[in-house]
Structure 1
Amino acid sequence: MSELKLFNSLTRQLETFTPVHAGEARVYTCGPTVYNYPHIGNMRAYVFADTLGRVLSYKGYKLTHVINITDVGHLTDDADAGEDKMEKMAAEKAQSIWDIARHYTEAYWEDIKALNIRQPAHWSIATDYVPAMIDYAQSIADKHCYELESGLYFDTSTVAHYGALARAKTEEGEGRIEEVDGKRHAADFAIWRKTPAGETRQMEWDSPWGKGAPGWHLECSVMSEALLGLPFDIHTGGIDHREIHHPNEIAQNQARCGSDHSGARFWMHNNFLIERSGKMSKSSGEFLRVQLLIYKGFHPLAYRLMCLQAHYRSELEFSWEGLQAAFVRLKRMVMGVTNLKARHADTQTGEADTPNGDADTPTRHAELVSASIVPNEPMVEADKWTLKQVQGDVVGVQGDVAPAINLSVNEFDTAIVDDLNTAIAITAMETIIGLKKVDVAQQLAAIADMDAVLGLNLMNLTRADLRVRPKAAIITEEDIETALTARKEARADRDFAKSDAIRDDLIAKGVEVMDGDPLGWDWKLDI
């Protein structure tokens, strides 16, 4: 199989992935701060991290993926300034900070499920690791930290090449970092923040530096070491983390383990999702959430497909027109796979002939590999329903694999190992979906393998699944189907007045009747 090459933000170049531990891949992803709902730009980072994990599984590595939940320590300015986001939201809502954390964590997990993102091996909750954070800070404090009235600060001059990941350091240091009286250097950052005199936080702990809470950057260093060991393979996050948060993690890891240890071998970052109307901001009211897409009648996997159509390191502009185009593309793929499954079922009842006449092909398409697999297990299994690549050749199904399938599978592999080029990989999968006069079992097996990487759940989705009812709709799907059946009967009887009346009534209720739709989709709710 082709070697996996990934772009390392630390070196700014493509590098061949070689794991720290043979046969394993250990990945840490910076998760959400659960003070509010995640917007779709936030969720792009987790689609990317999930795709990376799926590719690692596809390449046969035993995957250990960790995503953290930050429920303490993250300030309102990512540059180490302002109020704690969790404390601020709890005060605004007049609720317990623990209730705030639980509510928004569960909302985030709902979005994870909606986007078909696999569960990681560990969800690491920051507050569970505060004692370990205090121990970690004590282990580096003497050589790398100093204490001020406001807390314990990391001296960035004590580690080599601080800021190399961001490559944005000037003689004055990081300009975005908060100015604090007594800081030795502008780029120095808080390891532990003391609770100000006369104040009480909902989340605070005793420490050698006084009652307070850990700094945001400390959390990830502690949890990644605890769950993955140092060094581990890959650390992911949004490109905004590349400038401050991740350089500060690296500095802490160097202080802990030596100047040659950044913590992870690869640092990988997805680019921004751009939205021109300004509704991406969480301060804009009804900002763009996954649930908003669903409320407007879009299946959430249309957004996943939209993300995969662009390279993860490219900016992606969001528009409703672009989402609609991705939705139509998803529908075409679902219908293509549905038709292949029906053709395969026909071959088992003798209603059609298989191209190679193989009578031993399994009869239950439910046995096909789906995208919902157990974490840490390789996606490609050597059974009758999957294609397994060995030295560039596809083997493992009944008989020889059709050359056209073999070609597209190899195109898929070439794309996906080239720094996760999902845009080309999708096209390779679509080519296989559209092939004619090849063994349909082989087609379905190849699609199952590919979709296990892309995570679009094509082997399970149906046309009915993709008919998402907008929240504002005033008519049910059952009523629509009943009306359309009556309209078809009226048209068959050439009662066009009745047919038009039914259509007009549906339009008045927000239903667009799609006569002649090449997808055969019949209708959509236009709210």
Structure 2
Amino acid sequence: MNMRLFDTRTRELRAFEPLDPAHVSMYVCGPTVQSGPHIGHLRGALAFDILRRWLEHRFGRVTLVRNVTDIDDKVLANATDAEPWWALAYRMELEFSAAYAAIGIRPPTYEPRATASIPQMQELIARLIDAGHAYAADGSVYFDVRSWAEYGALTNQRPDAMDSSPDTDAGKRDALDFALWKAAKPAEPADATWDSPWGPGRPGWHIECSAMSRRYLGPAFDIHGGGLDLRFPHHENELAQSAAAGDAFARFWVHNGLVTVGDQKMSKSLGNVVLARDLLATYDPLVVRYALGAAHYRSSLAITTASFAEAEAALDRIRTFLTRAASPSAGGELPQAFAAALDDDLGVPQALAVLHEAVRAGNAALDSGQTDAAHAAARQVAAMAGILGIDPLDARWPSGGAGAMTSALDALIQTMVAQRARARADKDWAAADRIRDAIADAGISLEDRADGTHWSIDG
């Protein structure tokens, strides 16, 4: 089966083949670092982390670029005399990096800051002016929306039906035009200004990603990703200015769904923003990863306390089985159904269903004494969990280092459980009760289920 991805631009599932069969190129819009990360940032970055892991498995090499917007109206607005804009941006960037790392999101191949690509932005702006798609006015430069007949292609809108740009500068010819370069303002700090052919100033938001994606991936690349809220105006404007400058730009547009808290979209105006630092102080990072990654990436994710309880229970089932199996986890092949699920627009919910079915089958094999089958299932489970980044015995997780100790304890308990099973088969109820009592005295609870006997440590 060929891999398929939903392309937001064409609004259909399309077969995905990278420009280079052995190397996928991907650009994901990173954070504007005016404040710390919230749960929506984690969900978006995690969606593309899982996609990246699967693309690496399928095609080999992936170059992932995720930018940091460290110069922006919001960054300047949140700066203070005690903390200049660049210091605020760096502190927030570190918060994002720490939160991403906490839930196992791997660093991108390149993570450029916008302020490091000002010359590339100016070069792109000059190309747009030369091509007749941008104009200078009062030290600023604007993209001429109506000069580009394909404007609106990403969101399937026509200019006359669009909301106008929030830029209200008198120099604009049309309310829809957007700033590529913003003239310096007297109230803004001098170190937030760069020289340019059009006068001192700083870049507009949209030009940053077009210039950085071109710099690190070239004029054509495979995937452009980001949150659904970025489709308009940010991604629409990126597409227009890059295409108008003559670049092929992104072949696929991939957008992750947003997060709702209760039944409302998360927003600062509603006061229901869940900050990453609060989330990670409340729940185990692996539980957070599972809860945020379990839904399909394009779906709206409704977060409740039950989301994390369900994630914790699911991880406990995986952990208990892998510990019971106590077998080398390397070398497992991915089940065909698991691969087919991820090939079908990154179907993580379906892939998780395959993983948990393997856990159930492995437990049943252990309970019936089919050791080889149980070990084979354990290797498959570990391989699937590894692709999704949710292997609970991985040493990177706080609980992962306990794997060897838990395995040794499980071996002892399983021996006693087997002795109890034999006593019950022989109808030696007194011996069976003595073994169960000895296990209970050690603080271990047994639960007899249809798929076998399971143990847990009393809390």
Amino acid at match of 1:37: G
Query: Paired residue for 1:520?
Result: 456
Query: Paired residue for 1:427?
Result: 353
Structure 1 residues 185-217: Cα deviation after superposition (integer angstroms, max 9, x where no partner):
332110000112465344111111111110111
Partner SS, residue 230 of structure 2: helix
Aligned residue runs from structure 1 range 20-39, under 5 A: 20-39=19-38
Distance 1:181 1:248 in 2: 20
**Preserved contact between residue 394 and residue 400 of structure 2 (Cα < 8 Å):** no
Query: Paired residue for 1:239?
Result: 228
Query: Paired residue for 2:98?
Result: 110
**Preserved contact between residue 43 and residue 293 of structure 2 (Cα < 8 Å):** no
Distance 1:318 1:96 in 2: 35
**Preserved contact between residue 116 and residue 457 of structure 1 (Cα < 8 Å):** no
Distance 2:161 2:169 in 1: 14
Residues 1:199 and 1:442: Cα distance change in structure 2 (over 3 Å)? closer
Residues 1:172 and 1:182: Cα distance change in structure 2 (over 3 Å)? farther
Distance 1:282 1:516 in 2: 47
Query: Paired residue for 1:186?
Result: 175
The one of 111, 123, 134 aligned to 2:111: 123
Amino acid at match of 1:271: G
Residues 1:250 and 1:462: Cα distance change in structure 2 (over 3 Å)? closer
Partner SS, residue 36 of structure 1: coil
Query: Paired residue for 1:270?
Result: 256
Distance 1:413 1:49 in 2: 17
Distance 2:288 2:382 in 1: 20
Amino acid at match of 1:25: V
Structure 1 residues 20-59: Cα deviation after superposition (integer angstroms, max 9, x where no partner):
1221100001001111111011211101111110110111
State the TM-score, normalizing by the size of structure 2: 0.82
Distance 2:193 2:264 in 1: 35
Q: Which has more helix, going by share of residues?
A: 2
Aligned residue runs from structure 1 range 324-343, under 5 A: 324-341=309-326
Query: Paired residue for 2:340?
Result: 414
Residues 1:177 and 1:61: Cα distance change in structure 2 (over 3 Å)? farther
Partner SS, residue 330 of structure 1: helix
Structure 1 residues 361-380: Cα deviation after superposition (integer angstroms, max 9, x where no partner):
xxxx3xx45xxxxxxxxxxx
Tell me the CA shift for residue 265 of structure 1: 0.2
Distance 1:519 1:329 in 2: 16
Query: Paired residue for 1:288?
Result: 274
Distance 1:432 1:230 in 2: 44
Structure 1 residues 83-137: Cα deviation after superposition (integer angstroms, max 9, x where no partner):
x11111112x730222212211111111111111122111111111112211221
Tell me the CA shift for residue 140 of structure 1: 1.6
Amino acid at match of 2:234: H
Tell me the CA shift for residue 453 of structure 1: 2.0
Query: Paired residue for 1:347?
Result: none
Following TM superposition, the consecutive aligned residue runs of length 4 or more in structure 1 with deviations greater than 3 angstroms are 175-180, 197-202, 276-287, 438-441, 461-464, 513-519
Distance 2:92 2:171 in 1: 36
Amino acid at match of 2:95: A
The one of 184, 191, 194 aligned to 1:195: 184
Structure 1 residues 311-346: Cα deviation after superposition (integer angstroms, max 9, x where no partner):
1111110111222221221122122222222xx2xx
Tell me the CA shift for residue 442 of structure 1: 2.5
Residues 1:287 and 1:9: Cα distance change in structure 2 (over 3 Å)? closer
Query: Paired residue for 1:387?
Result: 333
Query: Paired residue for 1:158?
Result: 147
**Preserved contact between residue 4 and residue 15 of structure 2 (Cα < 8 Å):** yes
Tell me the CA shift for residue 222 of structure 1: 0.8
State the TM-score, normalizing by the size of structure 1: 0.72
Residues 1:200 and 1:107: Cα distance change in structure 2 (over 3 Å)? closer
**Preserved contact between residue 32 and residue 69 of structure 2 (Cα < 8 Å):** yes
Query: Paired residue for 1:323?
Result: 308
Partner SS, residue 121 of structure 2: helix
Distance 2:298 2:162 in 1: 26
**Preserved contact between residue 37 and residue 289 of structure 1 (Cα < 8 Å):** yes
Distance 1:427 1:113 in 2: 26
Residues 1:172 and 1:286: Cα distance change in structure 2 (over 3 Å)? closer
Structure 1 residues 406-429: Cα deviation after superposition (integer angstroms, max 9, x where no partner):
xxx111111110000100101101
Distance 2:244 2:220 in 1: 13
Distance 1:335 1:213 in 2: 55
Query: Paired residue for 2:202?
Result: 213
Distance 1:198 1:440 in 2: 68
Partner SS, residue 223 of structure 2: strand
| Unmatched tracts of structure 2, length 5 or more | 402-436, 448-453
Structure 1 residues 422-443: Cα deviation after superposition (integer angstroms, max 9, x where no partner):
0010110111122213434422
Tell me the CA shift for residue 277 of structure 1: 8.1
Aligned residue runs from structure 1 range 481-496, under 5 A: none
Larger relative contact order, structure 1 or 2 (CA cutoff 8 Å, min sep 6): 1
Identity %: 32
> Is residue 290 of structure 2 the alignment partner of residue 302 of structure 1?
no
Query: Paired residue for 1:136?
Result: 124
Distance 1:521 1:152 in 2: 66
Tell me the CA shift for residue 290 of structure 1: 2.8
**Preserved contact between residue 54 and residue 452 of structure 1 (Cα < 8 Å):** no
Tell me the CA shift for residue 519 of structure 1: 6.4
Partner SS, residue 146 of structure 1: strand
